[in-house]
Structure 1
Amino acid sequence: MSEAEWNREQAARLYQMSGWGRDFFAINELGNIQVVTDGTHPIDLKSVCDRMALQGLNPPLLLRFSDVIRRRMEQIHQRFLIARQESSYRGRYFGVYPIKVNQQHRVIKEIVDFGRRFQWGLEVGSKPELHAVLAMLDHVEGPIICNGYKDRAFTELALIGQKMGHQVFLVVEKPNELSLILDVAHYLKVTPLIGLRCRLAAMGNGHWENSGGDRSKFGLSASEMLEAIDQLRQRGKLESLRLLHFHIGSQIPQIRRIREAVLEAARYFVEVRRLGAPVSFLDVGGGLGVCYDGSIAGSPESVDYTLQEYANDIVWTIKRVCDQEGMPHPDIISESGRALVAHHEVLVVDILSVSQRSREARISRPGVGAPAQLRELWETFRDLTQVSPREALHDASAYRDDIIKLFNLGHASLSDRAQADEIYWQLIFRLMRSLDSEQKAQFVPGLATLAADRYYGNFSVFQSLPDAWALHQVFPVMPLHRLNERPVRQGILVDITCDSDGTLNNFPLGDGTSRTLPLHPKIEGEPYYIGVFLTGAYQEILGDLHNLFGDTHTVHVHLDEDGQILEQIHPGETVEEVLNYVEFPHAMLAEGMGRQLQAACESGLLSSREADSFLRFYRGGLKGYTYLDDNVTLQLSGILSTDQGIG
């Protein structure tokens, strides 16, 4: 297919956009990705990046679209409303956001603001998170769920929140927490709202399946549940038991796992009610998945259900059990964090350079004096169409290995080694062109990756996409522009860290995933922006400082009432800020550099003018971005004296 026959619809199919980005992302007539937040005012991502560049902020950029959170919240609430109405369910629904998923102040504030009309609550699992939530959640209707292990200070703070008018549920994760909660509540003269976390036999599947089942480190067994209820009854506090909770893991790919867990939890609810506890809330935890790879296959990177099916199965399963047993319908709480915020963030990476592994080139025949193995490698390349692709690759690999051995023994020259590499990679290139995608996958595993171009991006996988290297999580990746052009190269994305794990080489594509990504040739002097999508859950808070690359620039983008685009910029971390994390304060660095420059002056290596200029340059660099930045104006040209250089 020629470039003239390529269009944006084909690009959308190629990158599987209808699967992972249907509700929020599209390609406009210019061939640029746009975010669709209200249906009438799309936001062109290339235009946002260009405006940031004019202000001196180049990628890596983290773009946040708050209106996507609002729409996602509306979708979740609406799906549960439909399920409750169609089933005549008599309980209410409360969405709760676990702030561990993305603890950025702006994100939590938007959830609180948008969620006020839905009585959306927040979930915490530590004292710092609880401190943040009590200060943020200024409407008392939304529940606060306190999960995680607790000490006295945690418990006191939660009960203070309850005395302030909040609906704070203290969920018992292990048996000894119950006595602590009751003792602190007695001291503060408050009736606590207690929840019990059930350790279900049902398990999720995927990366986080061990959150449920017998191996889970959280929750109470059936016997421990009975002991907790007896303890509450003995202390006259059975009326405090208001909630049952379970959680079988994040990103549950298969709906049957969710249905099984809800059924088991509904039975727990019925039995606890029979024991006299006035439980009225059933918290089904998290697990609502995100379709990262664009399929509906139920793989760890996908889900085999829709949002409506998820809500239906929860509501109908609880209703059936309660109706069978003559029990009231509980209020339902779900802790959907990933599904709420994943879509609202896009990481933008600019490609610095491209290393082409294979390309069309003229290969000259080795001379008569060349090693025999080099001549045989060339003959394999020449006769490529006369043997099977597998045989040709095996022969070429063997001859190349022989030449490397000869080179290491001193029996082949550097020129021989270079020519062997050129012939080998040209053979790979021609093989790749002759095979279709299915043949490539079946022919030699890893062949596509071996032959792929390396697109070097200005970012850190470890800082911005930790799940990509830790869990091999797949994220949608595609160019933000030039999508009216056919992508003619196959590449992988490489970061600027000094670590071989800093690579993205698994991408949603077509009907599945691919080890390489179709990309365009980089045009010299022009940016080539690559977007990594669905990064709003966990990536920021789990990112680390490998090679001391810090937080990226962040841009909050939203629409005002008139549909105008508003942008709020939060600059990324500076070199000084990152070094301070590892106990290199500015004063110590400047003093150490100044001392060495002074010594260089005294030994005659530098003039005093040079030393002063170098110190200014050093201090200025501490204020700079940790990533590569062509906008930096700190240049050494002109600061050296005319009569002395650096020896």
Structure 2
Amino acid sequence: MKTKYIDLIEQTYDFPQEEFQLEDNKLQFHGIDLYGLAQKYGTPLKFTYLPKISDNIQRAKGWFNSAIKKHKYAGKYHYCYCTKSSHFEHVLNEALKNDIHIETSSAFDINIVEHLKKTGKITKDNYVICNGFKRDQYIQNIARLINNGHKKCIPIIDNYEEINLLSEEIDGKFQIGVRIASEEEPKFEFYTSRLGIGYKNIVPFFNQSIKPNEQVELKMLHFFINTGIRDTAYYWNELMKCLKVYISLKKVCPTLDSLNIGGGFPIKNSLAFEYDYEYMVDEIIHQIGQACDEAEVEVPNIFTEFGSFTVGESGGNIYEVLYQKQQNDREKWNMINSSFITTMPDSWAISKRFIMLSINRWNDEYERILLGGLTCDSDDYYNSEQHMNAIYLPKYRKDKPLYIGFFNTGAYQETIGGFGGLQHCLIPHPKHILINRDEDGNITTSVFAKQQTAGEFLSILGYESKKDSDVLVAVENLQEPSKN
């Protein structure tokens, strides 16, 4: 009878996989010894495997360029990274190695752009697509960027007032885009996105407000689907509606030459994950080309804004199981040495699924369990609702430490969780490790951020922090990570 954890994984999934292999009874991620990483740095920890960012960018660019060549599509393709997925410098530095452009969401994004320009990571040839609802500071920052010569900064108009606000601040002519307020998926709580301008109102808006304004040139139509790019009747129907708007707008606006199909690709959330990226790209290019040919208008240049797809699969979390609680005849709770609410907020806020695997003890027998975090909040858990299936792990043993990994957690979790700030129940944010490869392909690691201390929490909260005080030292010792 097959009762080992490795037997369970191999009979349930196609394993090993491209990024996951097993070596000496321990899990490897892109050739990284995760058990060794946990032993070296202690747990809990987060890590970012930087080469995966470039890998995903190059994959997407390859799919689009192949489809453009196959269909003899006359437009060009531009890959944008939407910074809200992860604003960290190490992420932007890695992404910008790949000849891409970026999409911003708020005022401080522009400050990041200006810093990247000073350091030579961004030049005047990089598009900066400015999304989001814009008010004073964001408007002023966009204007400053354009007035300082960055002509490829394109604010995307989200409401009727923004053109006038921008025109007052920007010197001379500038280009804009207009965002379509797409219809939401039928099961959504509301019918139309709060962002953008309705389908039926865009052409009248152009005629009334954009065309008479000699300072403004409309370059881009922006189309965003909240559910992302998926092979569903809903997505294709919304894309066709968008193309009808583009065609109608193109006939009265010759300067319009770009279509931004915002809304990202899904990322892997299970070992059973299947998604035909190449087919989706091919079909998108085909549908756009066919619609424009039939309407006898020029095809647009294509922009995409991939955030989670760019950075999500580069991230991972490692925890240690501290203790097992048998709460009744059926439920065993494995308690981790951190909190799901603070380190993976999407897992409890929107029941987002992540890949979860044991790091070690693959040849041990397995058992069905629930995973619990350290906070006193009843929602601090991870179970089958988030994980697609029941959770099985090697049997808990006090004398044999068990490490578990959550993978593809690189998008949004730090910013939503409040990186470096207050955490629920004052559970400290774990240390963050950057993983890279040198020119010879050897793995290198470095500490990006240490685990939060009691002193940092007390400082944020306004208490007088004396690191040599007995109370503070006791608290900090209490929060020391396990290094078993």
**TM-score normalised by the chain length of structure 2:** 0.90
Is this contact kept in 1: 2:263–2:305, CA < 8 A? yes
Residues 497 and 547 in structure 1, CA contact (< 8 A), matched pair in contact too: yes
CA distance in 2 between counterparts of 1:44 and 1:527 reads 16
- What is aligned with 2:430? 552
Answer yes or no: is 1:145 the counterpart of 2:129: yes
User: Match of 2:406, as an amino acid?
Assistant: V
Question: How much has 1:12 moved relative to structure 2?
Answer: 4.2
> 1:566 is matched with which residue: 444, 447, 460?
444
- 1:176: which partner in 2? 161
Report whether the alignment pairs 1:469 with 2:345: no
The amino acid across from 2:106 in the alignment is S
* Structure 2 letter corresponding to 1:339: F
* Residue 352 (str. 1) matches residue 292 (str. 2): no
Range moving further from structure 2, 572-581 or 559-568 = 572-581
How far apart, CA to CA, are the structure 1 residues paired with 2:414 and 2:64? 29
Task: Say whether the 8 Å CA contact 1:549–1:626 is kept in structure 2.
Answer: no
Q: Which runs of 5+ in 1 are unaligned?
A: 37-41, 53-57, 297-303, 359-424, 426-450, 591-614, 633-647
Q: Which has the higher strand share?
A: 2
Instruction: Provide the rounded CA distance (Å) in 1 between the counterparts of 2:14 and 2:114.
Output: 39
- Would the aligned equivalents of 1:66 and 1:556 in 2 still touch at CA under 8 Å? yes
Match of 1:276 in 2: 253
* Counterpart in the other structure of 1:135: 115
- Aligned pairs for 1:407-556 (under 5 A) are 425=329, 451-487=330-366, 489-506=367-384, 513-514=388-389, 516-544=390-418, 545-556=423-434
Are the counterparts in 2 of residues 93 and 331 from structure 1 also a CA contact under 8 Å? Answer: yes
User: Would you say the 8 A contact 1:466–1:542 is kept in 2?
Assistant: yes
> Could you tell me how far 1:620 is from its partner in structure 2?
2.9
Is the Cα contact below 8 Å between 2:14 and 2:272 reproduced in 1?
no
- The aligned residue for residue 180 of structure 2 is 198
Which whole-Å CA distance do the structure 2 matches of 1:585 and 1:121 have between them?
Answer: 45
Q: Deviations over 1:439-464 (max 9, x none)?
A: xxxxxxxxxxxx13110101111111
Aligned equivalent of 1:324: 294
- Note if contact 2:185-2:234 (Cα within 8 Å) is conserved in structure 1: yes
- The alignment partner of 1:159 has SS state of helix
Match of 1:595 in 2: none
Which whole-Å deviations, capped at 9, do the CAs of 1:243-280 have from their partners, x for residues lacking one? 00021214455443332222222221111111134111
1:156 maps to 140
Q: Does 1:83 align with 2:67?
A: yes
Deviation at 1:200, TM superposition (A): 2.8
Higher helix share: 1
| Cα deviation 1:338-384 (Å, max 9, x = unaligned) | 112111111101011112357xxxxxxxxxxxxxxxxxxxxxxxxxx
Classify 1:532/1:502 alpha carbon distance in 2 versus 1 (closer, same or farther; 3 Å).
same
Distance 1:104 1:621, change over 3 A: farther
Matched, 1:618 2:471: yes
How far 1:166 moved relative to its partner?
5.2
Report if aligned partners of 2:370, 2:383 keep a CA contact under 8 Å in 1: yes
Aligned CA distance change for structure 1 residues 493 and 184 (closer, same or farther; 3 Å): same
Identity of aligned residues (%): 20
The answer to whether the aligner puts 1:33 opposite 2:11 as a matched pair is no
What secondary structure sits across from 2:129 in the alignment? strand
Tell me which residue corresponds to 1:404. Answer: none
CA distance in 1, matches of 2:131, 2:471: 47
Equivalent of 1:232, from 207, 210, 223? 210
In the TM superposition, residue 501 of structure 1 has moved relative to its aligned partner by 0.8
- Distance, in Å, in 1 between the alignment partners of 2:432 and 2:264 is 28
Q: What are the residue-to-residue correspondences of 1:254-403 with 2, within 5 Å? A: 254-295=231-272, 305-357=275-327
- 8 Å contact 1:194–1:243 — kept in the other structure? yes
Corresponding residue number in structure 2 for 1:586: 465
Question: Does residue 167 in structure 1 map to residue 167 in structure 2?
Answer: no
Aligned mate of 1:124, from 104, 113, 136: 104
SS in 1 for 2:401: coil
Deviation at 1:227, TM superposition (A): 3.7
Check the 8 A contact 1:205/1:254 in 2, yes or no: no
Shift of 1:580: 2.4
Separation in 2, partners of 1:534, 1:473: 11
Residue pair 1:352, 1:456 contacting (<8 A) in 2 also: yes
- Name the counterpart of 1:46: 35
Measure, in 2, the Cα distance between the counterparts of 1:481 and 1:357.
25
- Judged with a 3 Å threshold, the aligned counterparts in structure 2 of structure 1 residues 566 and 538 are, in CA distance, closer, same or farther, namely same
8 Å CA contact 2:325, 2:334 repeated in 1: yes
- Unmatched tracts of structure 2, length 5 or more: none
* SS of match in other structure, 2:335: strand
1:27–1:483 contact (8 Å) kept in structure 2: no
Shift of residue 155, structure 1, vs aligned partner: 2.3
Deviations 1:520-559 (A, max 9, x none): 1233344311111121111111115110123210111111
Secondary structure in structure 1 of the residue aligned to 2:432: strand
CA distance in 1, matches of 2:125, 2:18: 29
What's the CA shift string for 1:16-39, capped at 9, x where partnerless?
A: 466xx9442x22231222122xxx
Q: Answer yes or no: is the 8 Å Cα contact 1:293–1:508 preserved in 2.
A: no
CA contact (8 A) 2:157 2:179 kept: yes
Look up the SS of the partner of 1:586 in the other structure. coil
Q: Structure 1: how far apart are the matches of 2:376 and 2:39?
A: 29
The 8 Å contact of residues 46 and 480 in structure 1, kept in 2 or not, is answered as yes
**What is the Cα deviation at residue 574 of structure 1?**
1.3
Report the Cα offset of residue 2 of structure 1. 4.4
Amino acid paired to 2:481: D
**Counterpart for residue 11 of structure 1:** 9
Match for 1:629: what amino acid?
P
> What CA distance in whole angstroms lies between the structure 2 residues aligned with 1:484 and 1:520?
8
Q: 1:51 Cα deviation (Å)? A: 2.1
Larger of the two Rg values belongs to structure: 1
Are 1:575 and 2:454 counterparts? Answer: yes
- Give the Å deviation of 1:167: 1.3
By how many angstroms is 1:481 displaced?
Answer: 1.6
Q: 1:142 to 1:255 in 2, by over 3 A?
A: farther
Count residues in correspondence: 473
1:232 maps to a residue whose letter is I
Write out per-residue CA displacement over residues 81-115 of structure 1, whole angstroms, 9 at most, x where no aligned residue.
111111111111111111111122221222123x2
Residue 472 to residue 507, structure 1, CA distance change in 2 (3 Å): closer
> Which residue matches 1:100?
84
State whether structure 2 residue 478 is matched by structure 1 residue 629: no
Rounded Cα–Cα distance in structure 1 between residues aligned with 2:32 and 2:162: 49
Shift of 1:577: 1.3
Q: Are the counterparts in 2 of residues 293 and 476 from structure 1 also a CA contact under 8 Å?
A: yes
Higher relative contact order (Cα pairs below 8 Å, separated by 6+ residues): 2
**Whole-angstrom distance in 2 between the partners of 1:529 and 1:473:** 21
> What is the alpha-carbon distance in structure 1 between the residues aligned to residue 283 and residue 477 of structure 2?
48
| Residue 526 to residue 573, structure 1, CA distance change in 2 (3 Å) | same
Q: Distance in 2 between matches of 1:182 and 1:223?
A: 24
Residues 49 and 83 of structure 1: CA distance in aligned 2, closer, same or farther (over 3 Å): same
Amino acid of the structure 1 residue aligned with 2:143: L
* 2:24 partner letter: L
Please tell me the residue identity of whatever aligns with 2:165: L
Do the aligned residues in 2 keep the contact of 1:548 with 1:626 (CA within 8 Å)? no
8 Å CA contact 1:455–1:492 kept in 2: the answer is yes
After superposition, the Cα gap between the structure-2 partners of 1:311 and 1:2, relative to the gap in structure 1 and judged at 3 Å, is closer
Alignment deviations for residues 44-100 of structure 1 (CA, whole Å, 9 cap, x no partner): 211221222xxxxx2110011001111111111111111111111111111111111
User: What is the distance in 1 between the residues matched to 2:322 and 2:151?
Assistant: 51
